[in-house]
Homo-oligomer: A and B are copies of this chain.
């Protein structure tokens, strides 16, 4: 379900919030019941915004945030610790 590179995993990075909101909606639209948002570092706030916009404004009462995990990853050379977040959105339909 949360395998790397899976279609229903969306990596939130430098694009605009609405870009990722659209990506989430498309994933639900093609029939996925679960969409996973992942982000690192400063993009974490953006991932939370994306999840909240999908949940509150666009698919209110149809989507639930079932999990929110935070962790640390080593990034770059020399490795440096970067915080990560994984938010799981599930369709209730």
Contacts and interface: CB of A to CB of B under 8 A. Distances in A.
Contacts of A42: 42, 45
Contacts of A71: 52
Given A52-B81, A68-B69, 6 more contacts: A45-B83, A48-B70, A48-B83, A52-B71, A52-B83, A68-B68
A48 B85 CA distance: 8
Interface residues of A, number: 20
B52 A48 contact: no
Nearest to A65: B70
A3 to B, nearest CB: 22
A90 interface: no
